[in-house]
């Protein structure tokens, strides 16, 4: 069974269910660029629940970072968490803000749900930006949506999974 949630901005969330316990695969699409895992071994209710909690609890309004490209976002991430660190300076406002707020703008990274994908989430005014970088395939993408769109889509997916798997 497959559940799909989409919006007019080009965001698509797909869940392909393996069983009635909501184990399956998650896929995130940004304007038809696809990111996700290749195995059916994830509890999708847990995954989307954690995403929803993260969106609701974070402080993502970082005006000076909103317009950065996904390649710059990845560079900042690598320099922040990688072995070769780069010290922020007063002349680089974006990097200083990234270091200061890294736990808020680096939304998720790891093996669970979206294999090896770095997901960044930023807000500015009435807009929000989702940035996804797949370290395994080298692909990346971003999408700008009306503020609240990502939370709404995740909430819909979470609710559908709860109904389907209860």
Alpha carbons 44 and 161: distance in angstroms, whole number: 8
pTM greater than the 0.85 cutoff:
no
In which domain, by residue range, is 27 found? 2-164
Alpha carbons 90 and 96: distance in angstroms, whole number: 7
What is the structure's pLDDT at 110?
A: 57
Q: Report pLDDT digits (tens) over 86-133.
A: 666 666 777 767 776 666 666 665 555 676 788 888 888 999 999 888
Alpha carbons 72 and 132: distance in angstroms, whole number: 12
Number of other CB atoms surrounding residue 45 within 10 Å? 20
Number of domains in the chain: 1
The mean per-residue pLDDT over the stretch 145-151 comes to 94
What is the structure's pLDDT at 144?
A: 95
Q: Report pLDDT digits (tens) over 19-41.
A: 888 888 888 999 888 888 777 67
Q: Report pLDDT digits (tens) over 35-92.
A: 887 776 788 898 888 888 888 887 777 777 788 888 888 887 777 777 666 666 666 7
As a whole-number percent, the residues of the chain with pLDDT over 70 amount to 81
């Amino acid at each position: 069974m497959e559940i799909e949630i989409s919006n007019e901005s080009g965001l698509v969330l797909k869940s392909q269910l393996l069983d009635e316990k909501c184990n399956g695969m998650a896929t995130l699409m940004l304007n038809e660029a696809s990111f996700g895992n290749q195995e059916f071994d994830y509890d999708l209710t847990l995954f989307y629940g954690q995403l929803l909690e993260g969106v609701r609890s974070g402080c993502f309004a970082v005006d000076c970072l909103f317009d950065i490209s996904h390649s710059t976002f990845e560079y900042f991430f690598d320099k922040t968490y990688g072995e070769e660190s780069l010290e922020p300076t007063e002349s680089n406002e974006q990097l200083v803000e990234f270091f200061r707020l890294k736990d808020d703008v680096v939304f998720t990274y790891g093996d669970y749900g979206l294999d090896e994908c770095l997901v960044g989430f930023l807000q500015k005014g009435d807009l929000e930006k989702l940035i996804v970088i797949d370290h395994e395939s080298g692909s990346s993408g971003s999408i700008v949506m009306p503020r609240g769109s990502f939370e709404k889509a995740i909430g819909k997916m979470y609710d559908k999974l709860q109904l389907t798997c209860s």
